[in-house]
A and B are shown apart, each in its own frame.
Chain A
Amino acid sequence: MSSTFLTRMGDGAAVEMTRDEIRAEIEDGAEQGARRAKAAALGSDEIDHLVDIFASSARMTGVPVGDEVVLSCDGTMDLRSGKIDALSQAELVGGDLCELALPDYSYKAVKTIVPTEQRLMQDAQYRLTIPVQYGAQADLGRYSVPDGPVPNWSQLLPEARVDEARAAQEEAAFESEADMFRIGEAMWEAGADGIDFDTAGAAGDADFLAVLKTVRRLRAAFPDLSIEVGMASEFVLGMHGELEFEGKRLAGLWPVDQLRVVQEAGATIFGPAVNINTGRTVAWNVARATAIIKPCMDVATIPVHVNAGMGVGGVPMNPCPPIDAVSRASRAFVEVLRADGL
Chain B
Amino acid sequence: MGTGDRLGVHLAHTLAAGMTGMRAAGDLVARMQMTRGMRLKEAKLFVADRLGVSTRELSDSVVMQEVRRELGIGLLSDLENECVGEASAMEAKFNIAELLDLPINCVARFRGRVHSLGGSASTP
Contact = CB atoms under 8 A, between A and B. Distances in A.
Nearest to B40: A340
Nearest to A271: B1
B9 A71 contact: no
Contacts, number: 241
A97 B92 CA distance: 15
Interface in B4-60: 4-23, 26-27, 29-31, 33-40, 43, 55-56, 59
Given A224-B105, A226-B34, A330 B4 contact: no
B14 A310 contact: no
A94 B14 contact: yes
A63 interface: yes
User: Could you tell me the dominant secondary structure of chain B's interface residues?
Assistant: helix
Interface centre among B4, B29, B90, B109 (most CB of A within 10 A): B4
Chain B: number of interface residues, binned into ranges = 35 or more
Nearest to B89: A129
B5 A310 contact: yes
A80 to B, nearest CB: 10
A77 interface: yes
B49 to A, nearest CB: 16
B69 interface: no
A309 B3 contact: yes
Interface of B: 1-23, 26-27, 29-31, 33-40, 43, 55-56, 59, 73-74, 76-78, 89-90, 92-93, 96, 103-106, 109-110, 124
Q: Which 6 A-B pairs have the closest CB atoms?
A: A309-B2, A75-B4, A226-B34, A191-B106, A66-B56, A96-B26
